[in-house]
Structure formats: structure tokens, C-alpha cells
Amino acid sequence: MKLVALVLAGTALVSTLGVSAQTLPNGIPAKFAPVTATFDYDRREVDVKMRDGVALHMILIVPKGAHDAPILFERTPYNADNATSKQDSAHAVMLVGPAFAEMLRAGYILAVEDVRGKYGSKGEYVNERPLIGPLNGSKVDHSTDAFDTIDWLTKHVPESNGRVGIVGTSYDGMMAAMALVHPHPALKAAAPMNPVINTWMGDDDFHGGAFRMAGYDYYFSQDTKRGSGDNLWRDAYDDYDTFLRAGSASGFVKSRGLDQIQVVKDLHDHPDYDAYWQAQALETILPREKATVPTLWIGSLWDQEDMYGAAAAYEATAKNDPDHLEHLAIGPWSHGGWAGTGDSLGPIRFQSDTGTWFRQHVLIPFLDSHLKTGAAPADIAPVTVFQTGSDVWQRLPTWPSACAQGCAQASRKLYLQAGGALSFTAPTTDGADEYVSDPAKPIPYRLRPIRPTYATGSTWRQWLVDDQRPFSDRTDVLTYETEPLTTPLALAGAPIADLVAATTGTDGDFVVKLIDVYPDEYFEKPDLGGYQLPIAMDILRGRYRESFSTPKPITSGAPLGYRFALPNVNHVFLPGHRIMVQIQSSWFPLYDRNPQTFVPNIFDAKPGDYRKATIRVFHAPAQASAIELPVVATGAAQ
């Protein structure tokens, strides 16, 4: 009764005040129009139709007041919207990363486009879609999509001068490289940064025929959804345990259902460097037509993902470059490090902000000279490379067979010797060292616990400069070392591992590390005393010792040659430092374990295939194992 009385009283009060009950208005306006008068840019979202009718999504950031401005263009599978909306701000430089903020300040219009089938773009996604040819019978590829988009940009961005430069890192670097195949006439410059050029020969998926299992994380996140995929789950904190318990690479794939992903199936079905991989090798495709676009290939000395691509593409295209359009820059960075400060990597410091220096003195002047109306030619050397050890930038005429004063490169053999010694003198007595390689206890490639590639606490970006002391005294690692150097020794190019070895198995891997050993006591930075800094490290799968396309069993017990190139270096071993070489037969779980028994496809190796093997590495007059060093004169001009 009291409740009824209160309701009646309320009704009477409304009537007395002459107020009638009414429906409340929608709190959200039908269309909200923000006032952006203070914004210093115009952000435009557009869908650009390709020649087959598929619409690709693109974001444009046009600085207000832009006129006769060049366009910097990037194509990506990593979400164009996120790349251009880092923060909510009235200032364009806050929307993008620091490197692209510098481009905006330099007067560029930015255009970022989702590739086919990813995020806002329509169509079907094919990871690393091959160019039109034997593997792609359609009429579209990343080259045609770049062409069609550039054509649209020249006609629909009135603030521009009609000149376009294409840039991108990693996968996006591959997109920049593919745009150079039958390029649009308005494409006036390209800067592929840490590009994927040949994923079997030394970029993401294989090195020396050994398979990189770290890629499974990437393919799970990238190829399971149109947008951003999830992280690949684990059942152990340490990846060493996770992959060892899975057995083979295929065992891990099946435990996660990764065989539903096409690229994972392709990796399994093409373990050798067969026609499938050869048809995609950009370092052989690009030189087939005369270059017309000035290109700056950008690489990193410690690139943990795409070590091969930039230098390989430059070396291939520069062989026939009468117009001198090809340029190369290499910095002391990890993957994509050109975009950061670059003053250090892990515990190693370079005494300067190498990233900012590179952008301000090389990258932006290069782009300006080709993209800005009336710009003067830039004073850019054919090759700009940072020399570690001396920590200086060098201007070189070519790479890798010359130095700044035009001196010829000389290969010097550093021979393995008895008692763990290294010397430029060939051995004079017969000898060999041996170790037992046990697939049940593979050598980790970095200190355990090893976190997944993209996990919190992962040291993935810096592991290539990790101290190698934890491995140098293992019984399954051979270690050789020079006496302390009395004069500096400079290298510029790719060292060559040239081993003579025998194994009791019928297959096996050989990992070779070239290391700079710091003095035992190091005044400049005491905690680096005795540090074993890797300069170049890589792997060869023994079945490919004669041919990457035709694997063969190893003749058990026979001394055979194993010759392969290590990654490019530009380094000075300083007086007081030592040169070290380490040799081993596993690098886990970065690379899948070699069962050391020849099987048709190592992806599918069975538990019984994994067997211990004794490896002998020879240092004898007729069987001299060595590292061929690309020695150059010291003191090259900056």
C-alpha cells in the first residue's frame, strides 16, 4: 500500500508541474563529425581496385598544406591501420613509428596498404605469393598490385608530385623488391630493408639446408586468420623441452595441427632446393631485366631473421648496373634495426646512434634525391657499411671485393691446428680432433631456458651477439683460438668454412662460428672481459655438401670436404683480441635435429633414426681444415 501511494504521489506531482513524460533521446548522435581544425594532417582510408577487381585497403597520411610532395609507399601483411594509428593525436608524427615520423618531417606523404587477403584488403592471402610464372598461373601478383596501386596514387593524390618511393622491412621488404619487377614508371626509388629474398637459401626458413623451426610461430600467427592470429601455445616454459619432446619437426606440426596451413605443408614437401624454391629466388629473378629504379638495399650484420637477402640482391643486381642505380647499406643491427637508435645490441655498444645517423645521412638523402622535385643528387656511396670493432661508417665502391682506397680483397686461410690452435700457417703434421654428437642432447643455440620467439623475456633479437663461452668448453664442441693479435685484422665479405671431416653417421650437420674474443681484462667495459662475440655463424646440412637440390648420404667414415659461406661481416679484430672458431653438429631448437642417419625427409624422421655419431675434423697437410677470411686493408676512409 505504501508503494502504491508513492507512485500516485509522483504522478500527481508531474501533473501539478505540467511536465509530460517523454522518450529519452539517443545519447549517440546519428553521425558524429569531429572538429579536426588543429590536426596537421589528413588521414584517408581508401579501397583501391586492382586489375582483377579485388579491392585493397590503404591508409594515406597527407600533411596539411602539402604541395608537390613525394609519396612513400609500403605494402604489408601486418595491418596498415595499426601502422598508421599508433596514438590518437592531432600531430601526424605521433601516428607512426619514429623512423616514419622522420619521413613525415622530411616532407613525405605516407601510403600503407594491406596485401591481398589480410586485414582490410579483399582477395585470398598466399604467404609470400610467387610472382606470375610457373608457380602462379593467375594474372596478378605483388608486382602487379604494386603497379596498380602506384597508378592510383599518381591520379588521386593531388598534393603529390607524382613520384613514388617504395619501402618496407622483412616481408614488406620483399614487397618492395617485387615491385621492381616490371615497375610502374612513377616508381622512382626503392629501399627494401632486411628483405626476404630467398627463404630457402638463407633467409627465414632454411640455412644450408637445415630447417628453422622458429618459423612455426610466425606462420601460426600470420596464416590462420585474415587479421592478427594468436600466439602458438606451448606445453613447457623452455622451447628446448617443447621441441625435443615433439621428436621431429613433423611431430611438432601434428601436435598443434599446423599441417592445416598451406605454407607449413609446402615447407615439408620441399625440403630440398628444388624447382619450387628456385622459381621464387628474387636474386635470380631481378637481374633478368635491366634495372630502372634506383634502389638502396638495407641489411644488418646481426639479422636474426633475413641475414641473406639484402647483400645477395645487391650483389646479383650490381653485376649489370651500367647506370649505377644499385646501392647497399649494412648497419650493426638486428632485424629491422635501421629504424631504431642502433647505439647498441645486447651488451655491445657502438659509440654512436647508428640508426639515426643512417637515416639522416643515407636513407633520407637517397630518397630525397630521387623523389623530390628539383632535388640535387645525393652524395651517397655505392656501399655504406658500418665497420664493427673500429665502430665507424665506411663509404665503399662495391661489395665485397674492394675497400675505400680501392685495395683488392684478399682471402687468407686461417688453419685449424693441433691443441686447439689457429694459425695462418698450414699444418705440417697429420692430426684430427673428434667429438660425439648425440641427437638426444642437442646443443642449444642460446642459453636455456629458451623462450618462444615472440614471448615475453625472449632474447630472440639479440641472440646473434650472445657470449659463446657457455658452449666453448662443451665436449661436443671443438674450439680453436689464435694467440692475441698484435696488429688489427679487418674483414669485409663472407668468410668461408672449409672443413675436412668424417662422421660415423650417414648424415650430419656442421655449425661453424667465427668469434672475436675480447681481452681477459677489458678496461673500456670490464664486464666484457673475455667475451666471445660471434661475428659470423651458420650451418650446413651434410646431405647437401655437393648440391642443395640433390641430397646424398654421407659415406660413413670417409674424410670429405664441407665448404660453405658464413654471413657477411665488416669487422676489425683489434690488437689484444683473439680469433676463435667453434665447430659443432647441432643448434637446437632453432634448427631441427639431424638424425645423423640418412632418411628421405628429415621432417618425418622416426625416433629410431636419431643416432649418436662420432665426428672427426682433420688438420693435416693433405686434409687442412680452415676458415677463409675476406681480409682487407685497415683504415678505410669514412
3-state per-residue secondary structure call for 149-196? HHHHHHHHCCCEEEEEEEEEECHHHHHHHHCCCCCCCCEEEEEEECCC
- Same domain flag for 156 and 226: no
Q: Is residue 559 within 8 Å of 500, Cβ to Cβ?
A: yes
In three-state secondary structure terms, 70 is strand
Q: 17 pLDDT band (50/70/90 cuts)?
A: low
**Mean pLDDT over each residue of the chain, to the nearest integer:** 94
pLDDT at 404 over 90: no
Rounded to 10 deg, the angle between the 98-105 and 364-371 helix axes is 40
Exposure letters 338-368 (e unless 16+ CB within 10 A, then b): bbbebebbbebebebebbbbbbeebbbbbbb
Residues in the chain: 638
State the Cα–Cα distance between residues 637 and 392, nearest whole angstrom. 9
pLDDT of residue 4: 47
CB atoms within 10 A of CB 117: 17
pLDDT of residue 402: 39
Share of the chain above pLDDT 70, in %: 95
In three-state secondary structure terms, 145 is helix
Name the H helices within 44-140: 80-83, 98-105
- Same domain flag for 280 and 373: yes
pLDDT of residue 356: 97
pLDDT of residue 433: 98
pLDDT tens digits, 450-481:
999 989 889 999 999 999 999 999 999 999 99
Residue 28: inside a domain, yes or no?
no
CB atoms within 10 A of CB 127: 19
In three-state secondary structure terms, 18 is coil
Give the bridge partners for 164, in sequence order: 71, 187
Q: State which of 31-35, 399-403, 502-506 shows the largest mean pLDDT.
A: 502-506
Whether the CA torsion 70, 76, 81, 82 is positive or negative: it is negative
- Same domain flag for 564 and 528: yes
State the Cα–Cα distance between residues 192 and 309, nearest whole angstrom. 9
- Same domain flag for 281 and 271: no
Domain boundary among the residues 246, 275, 304 is at 275
Give the bridge partners for 408, in sequence order: 402
Share of the chain above pLDDT 90, in %: 91
pLDDT at 38 over 80: yes
Site of grid cell 639446408: 209
Between 86 and 186, the higher pLDDT residue = 186
pLDDT at 148 over 50: yes
Residue 4: inside a domain, yes or no?
no
Residue 479: inside a domain, yes or no?
yes
C-alpha 434: how far from chain center: 34
pLDDT of residue 2: 52
State the Cα–Cα distance between residues 75 and 113, nearest whole angstrom. 5
CATH number (domain holding residue 265): 1.10.3020.10
pLDDT of residue 18: 56
Between 360 and 351, the higher pLDDT residue = 360
Exposure letters 303-314 (e unless 16+ CB within 10 A, then b): bbbbbbbbbbbb
- Same domain flag for 444 and 530: yes
Q: 401 pLDDT band (50/70/90 cuts)?
A: low
State the Cα–Cα distance between residues 72 and 367, nearest whole angstrom. 9
Residue 229: inside a domain, yes or no?
yes
Give the bridge partners for 394, in sequence order: 385
- Same domain flag for 390 and 284: yes
What is the average pLDDT across 531-552? Answer: 98
- Same domain flag for 93 and 184: yes
Q: Is residue 80 within 8 Å of 173, Cβ to Cβ?
A: no
pLDDT of residue 554: 98
Structural domain harbouring 193: 41-201+276-396
What is the average pLDDT across 34-52? Answer: 95
pLDDT of residue 635: 66
State the Cα–Cα distance between residues 210 and 188, nearest whole angstrom. 38
Torsions phi, psi of 367, nearest 5? -65, -45
pLDDT at 150 over 50: yes
- Same domain flag for 572 and 610: yes
In Å, how far are 200, 468, 557 from 553, measured between CA atoms? 20, 31, 12
pLDDT at 638 over 80: no
pLDDT of residue 6: 46
pLDDT of residue 353: 96
Domain boundary among the residues 372, 396, 420 is at 396
Domain boundary among the residues 340, 366, 396 is at 396
Whether the CA torsion 115, 116, 119, 125 is positive or negative: it is negative
Q: What is the largest CA-CA distance in the chain?
A: 117
State the Cα–Cα distance between residues 554 and 183, nearest whole angstrom. 45
Show contacts of 348-354: CB within 8 Å, 24+ apart: 348/465, 348/528, 348/533, 349/525, 350/386, 350/388, 350/391, 351/391, 352/391, 354/386, 354/393
- Same domain flag for 157 and 97: yes
In three-state secondary structure terms, 13 is helix
| Rg for the chain, CA atoms, rounded | 28
Residue 9: inside a domain, yes or no?
no
How many distinct structural domains can be found in the chain? Answer: 3
pLDDT of residue 21: 77
- Same domain flag for 98 and 243: no
Report the phi/psi class of residue 209: left, alpha or beta, with left for phi > 0 and alpha for psi in -120 to 50. Answer: left
In Å, how far are 211, 426, 485, 489, 580 from 573, measured between CA atoms? 31, 21, 8, 5, 11
pLDDT tens digits, 233-287:
999 999 999 999 999 999 999 999 999 999 999 999 999 999 999 999 999 999 9
Residue 30: inside a domain, yes or no?
no
- Same domain flag for 259 and 281: no
pLDDT of residue 637: 46
